Chains A and B, each alone.
Chain A
Amino acid sequence: AQSVTQLGSHVSVSEGALVLLRCNYSSSVPPYLFWYVQYPNQGLQLLLKYTSAATLVKGINGFEAEFKKSETSFHLTKPSAHMSDAAEYFCAVSDGGAQKLVFGQGTRLTINP
C-alpha cells in the first residue's frame, strides 16, 4: 500500500525566506502526487499536482514542487514566504482507484514577521 511521510509537523520561517516542506512517498508504480493547503477553519484546497507530464510542477500562490523518482520525494517550495502562506499543508498520493488518496500527517507552516 502507498504511504506518505511529511518530515516535520511544524515549520517556521521568516517572511521573505525560502519555504521548503518535505514529502516522501512509497510506491511501486509511478504515482499521482498532490499538495493541498488548509487555511484556518477552512477545508483543503489543491495547491498543485503531479501527473507525470513534467517533474517540476507549478501551483497557485507561487508554490512549486519537484518530483524526484530516485529519491521518492515531492517536496514543496516557495522562494519567498508571505504572511498569507501561514496554513497547514498536506501531501497526498493516489494509491490506485477512486478511494485511495492517502494523506500525510500535515505540516503546519508559521511565518514570522
Chain B
Amino acid sequence: NAGVTQTPKFQVLKTGQSMTLQCAQDMNHNSMYWYRQDPGMGLRLIYYSASEGTTDKGEVPNGYNVSRLNKREFSLRLESAAPSQTSVYFCASRAGESEWRELFFGEGSRLTVL
C-alpha cells in the first residue's frame, strides 16, 4: 500500500519556468491538500479539494493552480515560477472533511527556483 505518492521528489527551475507537481493516493480518500513547508513557518495550505470535482484556495494560493483530475490524483501547477516559491511541497489526503480525521502525507517535493 503506497499511500500518498508525489513526483518529482526534487526539481530545479529557472525564474519564469512552469512545472506541475503530481500527487496520487491509493486510499480512496475524498479530500486532498497541497501544503508548502518553509523554515520556521510550519506548513501552510496552498489549495485543497474536499471531493472530486471541487477545489478551493487555502492560505497561500497566489502563483499556483490545481487540478483534481479524479479521485486519486491532485496536481499543483506553477505557471511562472518565482524564487519565493522555493520550498518543500507536501501533498496530503484525508478520508473525509471531518475535523478529527488525520491527514496522510506524501514524502514531499523539494523545489528550488533560481
Contact = CB atoms under 8 A, between A and B. Distances in A.
A43 B56 contact: no
A91 B105 CA distance: 15
Contact of B99 (A42, A43, A90, A96): A96
A51 B102 CA distance: 11
Q: How large is the interface on B (under 10, 10 to 19, 20 to 34, 35 or more residues)?
A: 20 to 34
A34 interface: yes
A90 B48 contact: no
Interface stretch (A14-22, A70-78, A101-109): A101-109
A46 B102 contact: yes
Interface string A71-96: 00000000000000000001000101
A98 interface: yes
Given A99-B48, A99-B56, A103-B43, A94 B108 contact: no
A44 interface: yes
Contacts of B78: none
Nearest to B51: A98
Interface residues of A, number: 24
Contacts of A36: 103
Contact of A97 (B40, B92, B99): B99
A105 B42 contact: yes
Interface in B33-70: 33, 40-45, 48, 50, 56, 58
Contact of B107 (A4, A43, A98, A99): A43
A44 B31 CA distance: 17
Interface of A: 4, 9, 32, 34, 36, 41-46, 49, 51, 90, 94, 96-99, 101, 103-106
Contact of B100 (A32, A42, A105): A32
Contacts of A42: 107-108
Given A98-B97, A103-B43, A105-B41, A45 B31 contact: no
